A and B are shown apart, each in its own frame.
Chain A
Amino acid sequence: MAVFSLATLGIILVSAAIDRKRTWAGLREGMTMLLSVLPTFLTVLVLAAVALYIIPPDAIKDHLGQGQGVRGIVIAAGIGSMALMPGFVAFPLAAILIKQGASIYAVSAFITTLMMVGIITLPAEFRYLGVKAAVLRNAISLIAAIIVAVLMGLTYAWR
Chain B
Amino acid sequence: MPGGEAPKTAPRPARKGSAWKQALGYTPFFIFVAAVGASIYWQWMPGIQAGLNFRQFLAEMLLILPPAFLLIGLVDVWVSRETIEKQVGTGSGIKGILWVTLLAMFQAGPLYVAFPVAYLLWRKGSSLRNVFIYLSSFSAMKFPLLTFEVGFMGLRFSITRLVFTLPVFIGVGVLMDKLMGKNYFLKNGNPALGAGCRDTGLGGER
Contacts and interface: CB of A to CB of B under 8 A. Distances in A.
A103 interface: no
B195 interface: no
A8 B72 CA distance: 10
11 contacts: A26-B77, A34-B70, A42-B28, A53-B53, A116-B136, A121-B112, A125-B115, A133-B176, A133-B180, A148-B161, A155-B160
Contacts, number: 229
B152 A94 contact: yes
A29 B161 contact: no
B189 interface: yes
B31 to A, nearest CB: 8
Interface of A: 1-2, 4-5, 8-9, 11-12, 15, 22-23, 25-37, 39-43, 45-50, 52-53, 84, 86-88, 90-92, 94-96, 98, 108, 111-112, 115-116, 118, 121, 124-130, 132-133, 136-137, 140-141, 144, 147-148, 151-152, 155-156
Given A4-B151, A22-B77, 11 more contacts: A2-B63, A11-B74, A29-B77, A35-B22, A39-B26, A42-B29, A52-B53, A88-B9, A124-B189, A127-B2, A128-B189
A91 B71 CA distance: 16
B129 to A, nearest CB: 12
Nearest to B2: A124
Given A2-B63, A39-B25, A53-B49, A27 B78 contact: no
Q: Interface SS of chain B: helix, strand, loop or mixed?
A: helix
B57 A49 contact: yes
Contacts of A95: 60, 152-153
A137 B171 CA distance: 12
